[in-house]
Amino acid sequence: MGTACLRFVLQAVDPALGCPILEAQFSLETIEPLVAILGDEVRDVLDGAIWELDASDLERLSAVVGFVFPRQFGEVRLVEWSTLRAVPYLIHTEFELALMLEGRKPFAAFGDAYPNDCFEAWMALFDPFVEEGRFVRRIIDQPFPSPKRNASGETVEGIRSVYVALRGEEWRIEAWIETWKTAALSGWNEALERRQGELLGYTEWQCDWWAVNRRDVLTPRR
């Protein structure tokens, strides 16, 4: 076998936190072995799609990857390896709720077109903690002049931004909004990039690393 050039990650997702709690990585020369057992649509994973796996999928997959991934920890999904995994600290994306409950992340920002059942289900995980008063949340809808069709052919009515902060850190919501207003007037720059990282709860050394090492191939952090 030659050198593997595609990397994938299996994830077990905690249903209450919405984040991976167990992961395993594997590599393949091509995606064809996955196509053979999961079907042609699994190619969408190479474009950023998330592929959910059931028990029979995992059983067939084990013959390809050489190990059995457990199912008892939560829903199992397949994703492509991301360049963000090469960053020497945890990127908060997907771990927002868990980090906020631990007090390690003061603020998170989300956005997507609406209506979107998947996005709403994800945001609903924050509801109990907003109701308890542990989190402060602001939702801003920006309706389109008229409904549009997204890439999947679904009708969307606008863009929904959801901002969530720890109680006492809600000032970060307005500060975040102001950074984007500034960017709209002056354009994005390194100072705004650092400010974004600080508001999201990244440490000084993490912001320093990001400023030096960030490349176009790195997708946006949250």
| 7-45 per-position pLDDT tens digit | 999 999 999 999 999 999 999 999 999 999 999 999 999
Residue 56: per-residue pLDDT: 95
If pLDDT is split at 50, 70 and 90, which confidence band does 218 have?
A: very low
Q: Position 21: which residue type? A: I
Q: What is the pTM of this model?
A: 0.88
Judge contact between 156 and 115, C-beta under 8 A: yes
Q: What percent of the chain has pLDDT over 90?
A: 86
Residue 43: per-residue pLDDT: 96
pLDDT at 99 over 70: yes
CATH of 6-81, one of 3.40.710.10, 3.10.50.20, 2.40.50.140, 3.20.20.70: 3.10.50.20
Q: What is the mean pLDDT of residues 143-151?
A: 93
End-to-end alpha-carbon separation of the chain, Å? 38
pLDDT at 152 over 90: no
Alpha carbon distance 216, 222 (integer Å): 16
Task: Provide the residue ranges of all domains of the chain, joining segments of one domain with +.
Answer: 6-81, 96-213
Q: What is the mean pLDDT of residues 86-110?
A: 96
